[in-house]
Chains A and B, each alone.
Chain A
Amino acid sequence: MPELSAVHHPLYQLRRTPFHARTSQLCLPHNWRRWGGCLAVGSYDLGLDREYWAIRNHAALIDISPLVKYQIAGRDAARLLHRLTPRDIHKMQVGQVYYTGWCDDDGKLLDDGTVTRIGEQDFRLTAAEPQYRWLSMNAVGMQVQITELTERMAALSLQGPKSRTILNLACEQPVDSLRYFRMAFNRVAGKAVSVSRTGYTGDLGYEIWMDAADALVIWDALMTAGHDYGITPTGILAMDMARVEAGLFMLDVDYTSASHAWIPGQRSSPYEMGLGWTVNLDKQGYFVGRRALEREHREGSSWQLVGLEIDWEGLEREYAVVGMPPQVPASAVRGSVPVYAGPRQVGYASTSTWSPVLKKYIALVHLQQPYFTPGTKVEIEVTVEHHRRKSPATVVKLPFYDPEWKKK
């Protein structure tokens, strides 16, 4: 018997989520991706259309268990999160969910996620990357317990205009009164869950949090309840297109965590990422990065994340040179593409995608001051038959897509 090679060592193997028994049966093209050390379905089909349109037209069921999750509980739980994030956690009501980034003391983002106030002294924090050390470092001198829930808690995201209807059928209590960015306890198939009206698609949607042991029962119950409404198991690639339309960015794709940046220039502040609305400089007490953020607020940011719409006729002209109609990518492109003002590069796109619902070619772009002002005309690089060319584009406010039923 040959020795096991290093890649077979448990350390190098990707974990399976609690839904693996179901998702692996359905993932016909074996299109797996890596997410937080887990196997995550990229797509259940060879193309993304069916899953993408499920998000926008009916209901997509997405396994989001790889999210890093913590319970933060105890007398100083609110105090810890108030110190950790730029949001005013003391103002949060029980059952409320905040989206927020958090920074190092230079005011540069480390990660982003949601904070849910489960109880007066009980919170749930989600993150893209493990945060235990950072949380512990911030909890010195506080009475608080930090417990990682990542593996013991499974989570599903049900996104799309029909998600509420399906949940009302599957849940013991109706979710009609659950407002945007609120959380409530409920039961599905007799199992306790918490349901938050949150998501990563910019559509009507919910996230369902449960004990990992109950994962399959709840998956089956949702699939049964959603059958008549076109519930569709959906991979993270279709979600990636939807999140760009929603103007939502992703760690390691659209920004680099300050803890991983090789050079200062790779770091981003919340203001630069368009999260100025989450920075509450009027709140009481110290929070990490306060000084730096106060300064940036005073002096203005030199970069900003904004939307870019590529001008279709301009794109047609560039392709006409080689006698072709415009070509657009079949999925979201995670790669840096230069953006120009005249001959000078003034920024770059970090994710670009064809938006099927908007019929537009769009991108999340980082632009230098003053080019980030909406309405500004710039040019983006396009590769037309192996040749680099520039296509005209217009700076727009985020999100690109904001259906009225998202918050209703």
Chain B
Amino acid sequence: MTNPDILIVGAGHNGLVAAAYLARAGRKVLLLEQRAVAGGQLAGATLTSGAVVPGLHPAGQLRPAIVKELDLARHGLATSVADAAYISALPDGGSLRLVSSANDAATVEAIRRLSQRDAERWPEFVAFMHRASAFLDAAYATTMPRLPQVDLRADGLPLASLALKLRRMGGKDMFRVMRSLSMSAVEFTEEWFESEPLNAAIAGVAIHGVTLGSMSAGTGFTLIHNWLNRGGLAHRTTTGGPQGLTDALVKAVLANGGEIRTGAGVAQILVEHQRVLGVRLESGEEIRASTVVSSADPRRTLLGLVGAPELPPEFVWQTQSIRMRGSVAKVFVQTDGRHGLPEGTIAIAPTLEYLERAYDATKYGEMSQQPYLEVTTSGTDVTVHFQFASYALRRADWDSMRTELEKRAIDTLTLHFPAFKGSIQSVQSITPVDLEQSWGLTEGDLNHGQLILDQIFFMRPLPGWSNHRTPIDGLHLCGSGLHGGGGISGTPGRNAARVLLQR
């Protein structure tokens, strides 16, 4: 493509979403991807160790508005999602099987065996969680104002319409949601239920993907956030899986006239006098454009690709202060099929204290002795999401701890599913350092910045910079590190495109 209007750095799902919207609006969009394939976290990789591993997410859905507006069904995206089961392995060897719909009789019956009272409250809980995630969804779809100076002309209307939308959803609920955001998963679930296995099962979703424990403030928020992205407790798988999602987005970009170049890593975002000029690729090639949109994480984009010397000192300091601190590892196990694992999303989250103790490891730069796991299967393949595995190990490095990581994942899972160990044929793993090296995620943070209360809404990616812009004119951000980001949703990509098209 000659003389593109807009360069997009990174072909993860948010980069693809932004590209598709911008291309659809008639902009000449060139998407540059460092790796050989598009898809970001949804795509697999060849690690520096030589191991070939699949993508990082067993499932993922874009927000329905994006699917509709980009006409992704026409580009091959399967839109029907099955309601899936969330199975929590219990300490006594049994399991608790939950389906996140208010009226699932089997779920209510399973809870009744733990507590009559909890079974009666479950339908109300599910309804509340769906409303709470609808609140969050509405807030995410609205670009946040740049506090402390709110530009009423630019932000006033969207904010007023958000307020109206939230009001319509119910004032009483809104208050309850606001209160829930800052609570810990323990406090939140114990307000609803008395049964420990149920509370712990829910709390597992609250700490999933974040460096927080069940007793950390703000895990009420992460619970609602993850519930919104999943549509409930369990991952919902779609036909075509995560790859199908990437394929549809790629087709949408191309069909609208956009271009995607893979194997085209950006080495430098070129800047002069706080104005973007274009990019220089790792190959040395320079491509000029008046607008550059980066879907890489904010720290990597600003301090790595732009460079601190081009940015105001206070802004640099703020960017350095974004807490990344990944603590997720993945273990992929190929089995002979006799692993004995049920279908659905399996959680090793037996008690609330178990989750908090697993998290404790991150405080000391360690790996959990007894980790919180979330496990999904696909035929004979078993994918284990492992928490907590500190990015910065204090007493070892990840080269030497990889075997230990795999061992702890397998042993923990075998404790609950004794047939598992005997079924193993091969094991591969992704450490937080692999996430940084192979996916470009600073400190191995899947969310491009922790989902904590001081890094969300108008404080994401940075206080005062919630409108996708940066101190560099023409440089915008569209990745997971932005408001609405964290997990798979496409919201930051959509919001970024809207801001650009509003100019």
A interface residue numbers (CB < 8 A to B):
79, 83, 104-105, 134, 137-138, 140-142, 285-286, 288, 290-291
Complex Cα distance, B311 from A291, in Å, reads 12
B314 located at the interface, meaning its Cβ lies under 8 Å from any Cβ of chain A in the complex? yes
- By a CB distance below 8 angstroms, the chain B residues around A291 are 274
Q: Is A137's CB under 8 angstroms from B309's CB? A: no
- Residues in B neighbouring A79, C-beta threshold 8 A: 309
Contacts A290-B273, A290-B274, A291-B274 given; indicate if A141 touches B312 (C-beta within 8 A): no
How distant is the Cα of A286 from the Cα of B308 in the complex, in angstroms? 11
- How many B residues, CB 8 Å from partner? 17
Establish whether residues A286 and B310, one from each chain, have CB atoms under 8 Å apart when the complex forms.
yes
Pairwise interchain contact B308-A105, C-beta atoms closer than 8 A: no
Contact A140 B320 (CB under 8 A): yes
Looking at the complex, which one of A104, A105, A140, A290 makes contact with B303 (CB distance below 8 Å)? A140
Of residues 275 through 333 on chain B, the ones whose CB sits less than 8 Å from some CB of chain A are 303, 307-317, 320
CB pairs A–B below 8 angstroms (20 shown): A79-B309, A83-B309, A104-B314, A105-B312, A105-B313, A105-B315, A137-B316, A138-B313, A140-B308, A140-B309, A140-B320, A141-B303, A141-B308, A141-B309, A141-B316, A142-B309, A285-B272, A285-B310, A286-B274, A290-B273
Complex interface: chain A residues within 8 A of B310 (CB): 285-286
Specify which of B271, B303, B307, B317 is in contact with A137 (CB 8 Å cutoff).
Answer: B317
A104 CA to B272 CA in the complex, in Å?
19
Q: Which residues of B contact A137 (CB under 8 A)?
A: 313-314, 316-317
Residues of B within 8 A of A138 (CB): 313
Check if B313 sits within 8 Å of A134, measured CB to CB.
yes
**Given the contacts A290-B273, A291-B274, A141 and B307 also touching, CB distance less than 8 Å:** yes
* A288-B309 contact, Cβ under 8 Å, with A137-B317, A140-B303, A140-B320: no
| Known contacts A137-B317, A140-B320: A288-B303 contact under CB 8 Å | no
A105 touches B314 (CB 8 A): yes
Closest 7 CB pairs of A and B: A141-B308, A140-B308, A105-B312, A137-B313, A138-B313, A140-B316, A286-B310
| Interface bits B224-263 vs A (CB < 8 Å: 1, else 0) | 0000000000000000000000000000000000000000
**Minimal beta-carbon separation of B326 from chain A (angstroms):** 22
Among B274, B308, B315: residue with most chain A CB under 10 A: B308
A138 smallest CB distance to B (angstroms): 5
Cα-based distance from A137 to B311 in the complex (angstroms) = 11
Question: What CA separation (Å) do A111 and B271 show in the bound complex?
Answer: 28
Residues of B within 8 A of A (CB): 271-274, 303, 307-317, 320
Q: Which residues of A contact B312 (CB under 8 A)?
A: 105, 288
Apart from A79-B309, A104-B314, list 5 A-B contacts with CB within 8 A: A105-B314, A140-B308, A140-B309, A140-B317, A140-B320
Given contacts A140-B303, A140-B320, A141-B303, A286 and B313 within 8 Å (CB-CB)? no
For residue B473, which residue of chain A has the nearest CB? Answer: A291
Smallest CB separation, B317 vs chain A (Å): 5
| Across-interface contacts of A290 in B (CB, < 8 A) | 273-274
Tell me, in angstroms, the Cα distance from A79 to B308 when the chains sit together: 12
Question: Chain B residue with minimal CB distance to A281?
Answer: B273
Bound Cα distance from A341 to B198, whole angstroms: 78
A285 to B311 CA separation, bound complex (whole angstroms): 11
B274 contacts A288, C-beta separation under 8 Å:
no
Alpha-carbon gap, A298 to B317, bound state (A): 29
A83 to B312, CA, bound (A): 9
CB distance from A221 to the nearest CB of B (A): 42
A83–B311 Cα gap in the complex (Å)?
A: 10
Which residues from chain A contact B308 at a C-beta distance below 8 Å? 140-142
* Shortest Cβ distance from residue B146 to the other chain A in the assembled complex, whole angstroms: 15
CA distance A138 to B307 in the complex (A): 12
Q: Are A286 and B309 neighbours in the complex by a CB distance under 8 Å?
A: yes
Residue of A nearest to B310 (CB): A286
* Chain B, Cβ-Cβ closest to A135: B313
A286 to B313, CA, bound (A): 11
Measured between beta carbons, the chain B residues less than 8 angstroms from A104 are 314
Q: Which residues of chain A are within 8 angstroms of B315 by Cβ–Cβ distance?
A: 105
Chain B residues within an 8 Å CB radius of A134: 313
Using Cβ atoms and an 8 Å threshold, which residues of chain A touch B307? 141
A137 to B271 alpha-carbon distance, docked (Å) = 20
Neighbouring B residues of A83 by C-beta, 8 Å: 309
B274 neighbours in A (Cβ, 8 Å): 286, 290-291
Which of B273, B303, B311 lies at the interface centre, i.e. has the most chain A CB atoms within 10 A of its CB? B273
**Cβ distance B473 to chain A, nearest Cβ, rounded Å:** 10
B317 contact set on A, CB distance < 8 A: 137, 140
Residue of chain B at shortest CB distance from A286: B310
A104 to B309, CA, bound (A): 14
Q: How far is the CA of A105 from the CA of B313 in the complex (A)?
A: 8
Residues of B within 8 A of A105 (CB): 312-315
Give complex CA distance A105, B271 in Å.
Answer: 17
A72 CB to nearest chain B CB (Å):
14
Question: CA–CA, A140 to B316, complex, Å?
Answer: 8
Given contacts A79-B309, A142-B309, contact A286 B320 (CB under 8 A): no
Q: How close is B148's CB to chain A, nearest CB, in angstroms?
A: 13
A286 to B306, CA, bound (A): 12
- Please measure, in the bound complex, the distance between the C-alpha atom of A140 and the C-alpha atom of B308, giving whole angstroms: 6
The reply to whether B273 and A288 contact each other, CB–CB distance below 8 Å, is no
How many angstroms from the CA of A285 to the CA of B310 in the assembled complex?
A: 8
Name B271's closest neighbour in chain A (CB-CB). A286
Cα–Cα distance between A291 and B473 once the two chains are bound (Å)? 11
Rounded to whole angstroms, the CA-CA distance of A142 and B312 in the bound complex is 14
Q: Nearest-CB distance from A25 to chain B (Å)? A: 44
> In the complex, what residues of B have CB within 8 A of residue A288's CB?
312-313
**Cα–Cα, bound, A194→B212 (Å):** 56
Q: Would you give the shortest CB distance from A216 to chain B, in whole angstroms?
A: 40
A residues less than 8 Å from B313 (CB atoms): 105, 134, 137-138, 140, 288
The interface centre, meaning the residue of A79, A83, A137, A286 with most chain B CB atoms within 10 A of its CB, is A286
Taking the closest CB of chain B, its distance from the CB of A111, in whole angstroms, is 14
Interfacial chain A residues near B273, Cβ < 8 Å:
285-286, 290
Distance in angstroms from B243 CB to nearest chain A CB is 37
User: Complex: how many Å from CA A140 to CA B312?
Assistant: 11
Question: Looking across the interface, which residue of chain B has its beta carbon closest to that of A79?
Answer: B309
Chain B nearest CB from A134 CB (Å) reads 7
- Measured CA separation A83–B273 after assembly (Å): 12
Q: In the bound complex, how far is the Cα of B312 from the Cα of A134, in angstroms?
A: 11
Residues of A within 8 A of B316 (CB): 137, 140-141
Assembly CA distance A105 to B472 (angstroms): 13
Shortest Cβ distance from A77 into chain B, in angstroms? 13
CB distance from A82 to the nearest CB of B (A): 9
B314 closest partner in A (C-beta): A105
CA A290 – CA B311 in complex, angstroms? Answer: 11
Give the CA-CA distance A142 to B309 in the complex, in Å: 8
B303's closest neighbor in chain A, by CB?
A141
CA gap between A141 and B315 in the complex, in Å: 13
Give min CB distance, A144 to chain B, whole Å. Answer: 11
CB distance from A281 to the nearest CB of B (A): 10
Complex Cα distance A79/B309, Å?
Answer: 9
Bound Cα distance from A104 to B316, whole angstroms: 13
State the CA gap A142–B316 with chains docked (Å): 13
Instruction: Please give me the residue from chain A that is nearest to B311 by CB atom.
Output: A286
In the bound assembly, the distance between CA atoms of A290 and B314 in angstroms comes to 14
Least CB distance, A350 to chain B, in whole angstroms? 28
Chain A, residue nearest B313 (CB):
A137
Docked pose: A330 CA to B11 CA in angstroms: 73
A237 CA / B311 CA spacing, docked (Å): 41
Q: Which chain B positions have C-beta within 8 A of A286?
A: 271, 273-274, 309-311
Please, how many angstroms separate the alpha-carbon atoms of A134 and B314 in the complex? 9
User: Whole-angstrom distance between the alpha carbons of A104 and B314 in the complex?
Assistant: 9
- Give the docked Cα–Cα distance between A321 and B320 (Å): 65
Q: B132 to chain A: closest CB distance in Å?
A: 39
Bound CA–CA A140/B320 (angstroms): 9
Measured in the bound complex, the distance between the Cα atoms of B315 and A248 in whole Å is 32
